[in-house]
A and B are shown apart, each in its own frame.
Chain A
Amino acid sequence: MSDKPQPIGPHDVGGMPGGDIDRASHDYTFWERRMDAMVYLLFKKGMVRDWAEMRHQIESLGPDAYERLSYYERWAAATAALMIRRGVVSREELDRRVAELKESAG
C-alpha cells in the first residue's frame, strides 16, 4: 500500500481514537420512537426501498451535520431528503409546515 485510504466520510470511524464509551441508557422520547417507526413504516410501504438509500442520505448530510445532530435528527433530515427526492413531499410544503410548527410553538 502506498497512500493510506482516507475515510469515506464522517461515519467511517473504524480504528479512530474514540474516547470513553458512555454506557448509560436513556428512555427514548416519543419523538424518537416515532421517528424510528416512521422509517420502518416507509420501508413497509415501499417508500424506502433499501437501507442503502437511508445510509446514503445520512452520509450526504455533510461532516458538520453528522457530528452536530443527534442520531434521530440525522434520521429526520435523511428521511425528509429521501421523501423529497422520491417526490412524496416537496421541499416547499415541508418548509411551510416547519414554519407553522415554529409559529405555533411561539
Chain B
Amino acid sequence: MARFAIGDRVRISDREEARHHRVPAYVKGHEGVVERICAAQGQPETLALGEDGEPIQTVYRIHIPQTRLWPGYEGPNGDSLEIEIFEHWLESARC
C-alpha cells in the first residue's frame, strides 16, 4: 500500500547513506508534492549488491518548483522539476 497519495506534501530525506542510492544531493531535504504514483520497485541500496531489493517500495514522482530548489532561478515561477523518489526516502512534510 502506498503511504502517500497524489497531492500530498512530502519531504525528501537528507539522511546520510553510504550505500548506493538514487536520491541526488540537489533534491535532498526539499519539499514537494506527489504528482503521481509510478510503480513499485526494489530498493536500489540492496539491489546494487545482488540482493532482492525487498521490501519493494512505492516509487512516486515528486513535483518541486524550481524556485524552491535554486535561489535566483533564471526562469518564471511556474517552472518545475519532477523526480522519482522511493517511498523509504520520503517523509510527511509538516505544513
Binding site for B on A (CB under 8 A): 1, 4-8, 12, 14-15, 49-50, 52-53, 55-56, 59, 85-86
Contacts and interface: CB of A to CB of B under 8 A. Distances in A.
B55 interface: no
B36 interface: no
Contacts of B42: 50, 52
Interface residues of B, number: 20
Contacts of A12: 24-25
A86 to B, nearest CB: 7
Contacts, number: 50
A54 to B, nearest CB: 9
Contact of A52 (B24, B25, B47): B47
Instruction: Classify the interface of chain B: helix, strand, loop or mixed.
Output: loop
Interface string B39-62: 000101001111001000000000
Contact of B25 (A8, A49, A50, A86): A8
Given A8-B21, A14-B25, A56 B48 contact: yes
Given A8-B21, A55-B20, A15 B49 contact: no
